[in-house]
Each structure stands twice: as structure tokens, then as C-alpha cells.
Structure 1
Amino acid sequence: MRLLELNNSGTKSARALTIGNFDGVHLGHRAILDRLVSVALKKNLIPSVLTFQPHPAEFFAREKAPVRLYGNREKLNSFSEAGVAQAILLPFNRKYSKMLPEQFIRDILVSRLSVKWLLVGDDFRFGMDRRGDYDMLRVKGIEFGFEVEANSSVKVGQVRVSSTAVREALSKGDLEFAEQLLGKRYNVCGRVIHGDQIGRTLGYPTANIH
């Protein structure tokens, strides 16, 4: 899989694209990625993901932004394992936060990324003040010549699978349910930092992960 920055997104070949933060790459995300890759193969398009760095919530209010479930490396590995050919990083900043949804469609999706097929979640919002939605994409798709599909939510029992639901399960100590939502074991990755080794004296050796 190739990792590209939006401002240097390379080839003008036609793309099948999905957009999102994909924090945790849970069951709902994996359903989107599976559908993306499947359609891209059928239509001879490049299966691509447009994701954000930093997370928009971190840009607007870093101190209030949710804790990330996984880092970028784990997220990108999940994209690659799903069969995604290109991961495109959008450097979210003030310019993009003020971009009208119509401009995002015209300048980013059509002109820069040559999108021919677009897959979004059923609750997808984009552009300044989250004004853009699926209905706008569908209308603009007709105008600019790309197809749009909305992927239905995935549920575990009565719970809609989302990164927020995973965080809530973890905050309650319900690791089993969090892993059901993720569809995989939950793990924490990072660099081990040597501490004061107090845990050893108590009979509970620990690892300080930064």
C-alpha cells in the first residue's frame, strides 16, 4: 500500500474512495473497507482511503478530543491488510476547516483525486460546519460524474458499532464487548519507558508505555 499526502497524491488514475478517521478500524470500518476493495476490483479503480492528520476534533479542541484507540501505524496496517492500495493523508488545518462542502467536492474529490466511486458511512458529514452530507454528494456526483454509495451501520446486538462505543466499553472496563465491536483483540502499542521499578517491589512488574 502507498501512503500519500493530499498535496502530493500522485497518479490521476481513477479512484474508488472512502473518507474518514477510521480510529480503531472496528467492524463498521472493516465493512466499509471490504466494500470499497470489492467494488474497486470490479470497476478497475484504485481502492483508496482519505483520512485526516490531525483528527479534526484535535484541531478544533485538542484538550476535549477523544483519546485515540490506535495510532496511525496500526490504522495504516489495517488498511493494507484490507487490500487498500492508497492511503491519502489530508493535513487538516484552518484552510480545510473553512472549506465549503461544494468546494471540497470540486477541488479535492474531482480535480485532485479523480474519484469515480465514493463510499461513505450513513452518518457522514463534511465541509465547513459539517454542512455537506450524503444527499449533497449524490447530487454533485451526477453533476461531476461519480457514483456515491452510503454504507449502512453495523450493529452488535442493539449497539451501533462506532469508535465512541468502543471507547465507552473500554472506559467501563468491558474489554470483552470492546473487542466484539472491534472484531479483534484490543492492544496498546507504544515505546516502553523505564520508570522507577516500584511495581517490582510490590510483586507486580509493569511496563510504562509512552
Structure 2
Amino acid sequence: MKPSFSIYRHLPRHDTRGASAVTIGNFDGVHRGHQTILRRVVHEAAQRDIAPTVMTFQPHPRAFFAQRGQRPELVPTQISSLRDKAWAMQRLQIRQLVLQRFNQQLADMPAEDFIEKLLVQGLQTRWLLVGEDFRYGHKRMGDVALLRRAGQRHGFEVETLSDVVDEHGYRISSSEVRTALAVGNLERAERLLGHTYRISGHVIHGQKLGRTLGYPTLNIRVPSLCAARSGVYVVRAHGLDEQPLNGVASLGVRPTISDTGRIMLEVHLLDRRVDAYGKLTQIEFLQYLRDEEKFPDLPTMIAAIDNDAQSARDYFALHGL
């Protein structure tokens, strides 16, 4: 039987008073460093027969303070959607995900209340894993020493974790993944993530322009501050057929045909037509081909797409996919 997976947007939890083994963080991308942390939580929870739990914040605290300070350029880009983050955690056998709203009220909450209301009353925490420099509460006054004192009083253990490093001793972090994706370095992103970069989403109706150009596309919304570099990629689409489907995709604002500024992922499947509207698919990014361009006219754009499709075919021929 599959273990249950619950998402909570409010604490205390509405359906249980069960004890938890907890870690706290943003976990964007659920990269190899995060995976090490989550496996540790699952292991410790199993030893105690309690629920392995992640508390994360929405929006990212850095995004909240950047917007409040009218510094939108400081808002971090997003590696994974909430769906992809939750999927990754569920696969690693996390059983509870808390999406704690990060707002002014939480930013102003005294550190003692953060412990009492969220960790003790909210999750019945019995074991807690945080980074050595974890800060919380009003003006980030709370530290690990305060957590340890509270743990002695309320009956939970506190463990700290130093940075997780790769085989060369470099720290594995979400900011490193963002940097790799921002320059289209998918190989580096894969080494940090432990798997190829993927984005999931439901196929929605687009402008149907691709059909008239001979390149029908699956249109998928992505996070508005998607960490991946805008441009054209060789991809595979999962979940639409028994086997992954080969394709070529454009990620960006479509400057030649649209001025909305909204980022969209448009995927053209090579030599396949599928009825995919409304279906959930996961797009796997395999190779970065070129930057997004604004073309002077449609014929020039079609010639570029012809070239992109051929590049994708060459990739799949070479890699035997």
C-alpha cells in the first residue's frame, strides 16, 4: 500500500495530532542536497514511527522581502513548480508537506511563537533537522540554540546539517542550479539535481498558429519566473503515450507573435500527433539549441524552426532515443 501524502496550508493540522519528524526549507528543485536531507528525515521518522514532514514557505521569504522593498530584481527565479516539488518529495517518501504562508504576520512572529505555534502545536514535532545557520522569527532573532532549549522543554530533538557537497567539494544549492539553468548548462543542472531538468504542466489551448505553420505545439504554462533560460531546446514529453515522445520546444515570451510578456513552453512533437488538451505532461529538457529570437517575418521564423527540428532529429539519431 502506498504511504499517504498530505499537504497542509494551515497549522495546526485539521485531521491528525500525530507526531512528526520535521525539516524546514524552501527545497526549490529538490536537488541532490535536498534529497540527502529528506532521506535523513525519512530514516529518523521510521526509527520513531512518526510522520516524515517538510515545512516550506509560500512565497519564498526572499521574494516576500524583495517585493515589500520594491526590489523585484531580487526575487529568486523558480526551478520547480509546487506540483513538481510535491511529486519529488512524495517519491522520497515524505508524508506531510506544510505550505506555510509567508506574510507580514509570519515575518513579525516572535521566534518563541514560531516554535510554539508551528512546531509544537502545529506538528507535534519530536525530531527537527535544520541547517546550522537556520534563522526564524521576528528580525530573524531565532537561532539553533533557542530551538535546542525549546526542544528540551517540549520534548523534541534538534539536529543540524552542514552543506551537502558534490564529489569535487562544491556546495550543492538551489542557487547553483539556477545559475546552471540560466546559462542553458543542462549537464551541470543534471549533476546538481541528480536527474535531467523537467517541467510539468497541463496542456492548454494556444493561438493555434503552429498548426498553420506546419508545427503544431503543445502549450504549457510554466512559473512566471522560470529559472530555465529562454530559448529552444531538444525535449521529450512524458505521460502522453506509453513511451516518452521526442520533440523540440521553445521556452519564452514568443516575441515574434505575441506581446503579452507571459512565458510559455511550446512543444512540437516530432512525427507524432496526439490529442493532449487538458492532459498533464512532464517535459524533459535534453539539450539547449539557441536563444529566443524576434524574427522580422513568419518565413524567417519558419526557416529557423525547420532548422531547430532538424537539430532535434540529429540529437535523437545520435543518442539512439
Structure 2-normalised TM-score? Answer: 0.60
1:194 aligns with 2:199: no
1:179 aligns with 2:190: yes
Task: Answer yes or no: is the 8 Å Cα contact 2:249–2:265 preserved in 1.
Answer: no
Counterpart CA distance in 1 for 2:64 and 2:105 is: 12
* SS of structure 2 residue aligned to 1:160: coil
Which deviates more, 104-113 or 186-195? 186-195
- Counterpart for residue 48 of structure 1: 53
Counterpart CA distance in 2 for 1:26 and 1:206 is: 24
- Counterpart for residue 7 of structure 2: 3
Q: Whose Rg is larger?
A: 2
For residue 177 of structure 1, what is the amino acid of its counterpart? Answer: R
Task: Answer yes or no: is the 8 Å Cα contact 1:22–1:75 preserved in 2.
Answer: yes
- Counterpart for residue 148 of structure 1: 158
Unpaired runs of at least 5, structure 2? 216-231, 233-247, 251-263, 267-321
Shift of 1:56: 1.5
Structure 1-normalised TM-score? Answer: 0.89
* SS of structure 2 residue aligned to 1:61: helix
**Matched residues, percent identical?**
40
- Counterpart for residue 16 of structure 1: 21
Task: Answer yes or no: is the 8 Å Cα contact 1:190–1:209 preserved in 2.
Answer: no
Shift of 1:8: 5.2
Counterpart CA distance in 1 for 2:175 and 2:140 is: 18
Task: Answer yes or no: is the 8 Å Cα contact 1:126–1:132 preserved in 2.
Answer: yes
Which deviates more, 150-159 or 72-81? 150-159
For residue 206 of structure 2, what is the amino acid of its counterpart? Answer: H
1:73 aligns with 2:83: yes
2:33 to 6, 15, 28: 28
* SS of structure 1 residue aligned to 2:178: helix
Shift of 1:59: 1.8
Counterpart CA distance in 1 for 2:145 and 2:7 is: 30
Q: Greater relative contact order: 1 or 2 (C-alpha under 8 angstroms, separation 6 or more)?
A: 1
> Greater helix percent: which structure?
1
Unpaired runs of at least 5, structure 1? none
For residue 196 of structure 2, what is the amino acid of its counterpart? Answer: R
List per-residue Cα deviations over 1:118-138 (Å, max 9, x = no partner).
011233221222222222212
1:170 aligns with 2:181: yes
- Change over 3 Å in CA distance of 1:160–1:87 after alignment to 2: same
Task: Answer yes or no: is the 8 Å Cα contact 2:11–2:123 preserved in 1.
Answer: no
Between the two proteins, the alignment pairs up a number of residues equal to: 209
Counterpart CA distance in 1 for 2:48 and 2:57 is: 26
- Counterpart for residue 38 of structure 1: 43
* SS of structure 1 residue aligned to 2:11: helix
Counterpart CA distance in 2 for 1:130 and 1:166 is: 26
